């Protein structure tokens, strides 16, 4: 009863305050107004600014794809996905775990490159007030210094034959130095190289587990157990073998060495 009485008193007080506010026309609750409008550009500078904003939004939209295709993430993700297929695993470990591990291994492998980009491009560009005017980076210099470490990484990992392949497709002359190779040639060559290397490592991963599958299937056929799926028997043996050789550490180390 006391609780009900307290609740009724609170409700009446709230109603009394609300009615007092309703009777007092001078008390108003401010409601914000949001306006969104598009105006016609009246000068070339405004047109250029609008185009820069659209270009920046497009780059932000494509940023995940650019990060995947220009770093070590692609090879690592392919290798771990091949591992799941070789072990005949469907849901374990989940894809979120595989991609998360691939992401952090990418940060680990790419840390020297990211550190160079930060020290040579990002910090000098955003700390322009602390540098003399003649030493400040322009937008073009920021782009060149920022992409240079990433180009060095891709050049170290890419087989020159893929660069020559794309150069011949565009009918470009043979480059004298790496600086003569355009970035739009280097990126697809790097992606093709990463796919090739990832598939090569995947083939090596499949070999021991295929042998286990063949042995288990032959044993079941010799015993006359044709209706029993061999995967049900071979899966525990695959996991046992992978755990005994400390497969995660071994595979991570080999993937890291492949970027050497």
* Cα–Cα distance for residue pair 139/258, rounded to 1 Å: 35
Q: What are the tokens at 257?
A: 């060495």
Q: Taking CA 31 as the corner, what is the angle to CA 29 and CA 34, rounded to the nearest 5 degrees?
A: 170
Q: Give per-residue pLDDT as tens, 30-51.
A: 565 555 556 655 655 555 666 6
Of 194, 133, 139, which Cα lies nearest the Cα of 162? Answer: 194
Burial class (CB in 10 A: 0-12, 13-18, 19+), 101: middle
Residue boundaries of the structural domains of the chain: 65-202
Cα(148)–Cα(118) distance, integer angstroms? 12
Element (H, E) at 234: helix 230-244
Confidence of residue 28 (pLDDT cuts 50, 70, 90): low
Confidence label for 141 from pLDDT (cuts 50, 70 and 90) = confident
What does the pLDDT look like over 186-238, one tens digit per residue?
Answer: 888 998 999 998 888 888 888 888 888 788 777 777 777 767 676 777 777 88
Tell me what percent of the chain is helix, strand and coil, each rounded to the nearest 5. 75, 0, 25
Whole-prediction pTM: 0.70
Residue 178 above 50 pLDDT? yes
Q: Please say whether the beta carbons of 257 and 79 come within 8 A.
A: no
């Amino acid at each position: 009863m006391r609780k009900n009485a307290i609740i009724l008193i609170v409700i009446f007080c709230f109603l009394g305050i609300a009615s007092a506010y309703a009777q007092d026309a001078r008390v108003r609750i401010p409601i914000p107004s949001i306006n969104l409008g598009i105006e016609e550009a009246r000068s070339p500078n405004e047109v250029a600014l609008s185009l820069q904003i659209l270009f920046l939004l497009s780059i932000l939209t494509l940023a995940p794809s650019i990060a995947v295709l220009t770093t070590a993430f692609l090879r690592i993700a392919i290798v771990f996905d091949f591992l799941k297929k070789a072990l005949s695993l469907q849901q374990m470990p989940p894809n979120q775990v595989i991609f998360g591990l691939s992401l952090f291994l990418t940060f680990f492998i790419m840390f020297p490159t990211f550190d160079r980009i930060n020290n040579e491009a990002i910090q000098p560009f955003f700390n322009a007030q602390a540098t003399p005017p003649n030493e400040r980076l322009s937008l073009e210099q920021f782009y060149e210094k920022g992409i240079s470490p990433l180009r060095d990484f891709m050049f170290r990992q890419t087989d020159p034959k893929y660069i020559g392949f794309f150069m011949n497709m565009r009918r470009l002359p043979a480059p004298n130095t790496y600086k003569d190779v355009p970035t739009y040639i280097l990126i697809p060559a790097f992606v093709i190289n990463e796919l090739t290397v990832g598939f090569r490592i995947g083939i090596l991963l499949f070999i021991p587990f295929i042998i286990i599958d063949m042995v288990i299937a032959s044993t079941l056929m010799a015993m006359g157990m044709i209706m029993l799926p061999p995967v049900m028997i071979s899966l525990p043996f695959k996991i046992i073998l992978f755990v005994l050789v400390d497969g995660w550490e071994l595979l991570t180390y080999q993937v890291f060495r492949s970027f050497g």
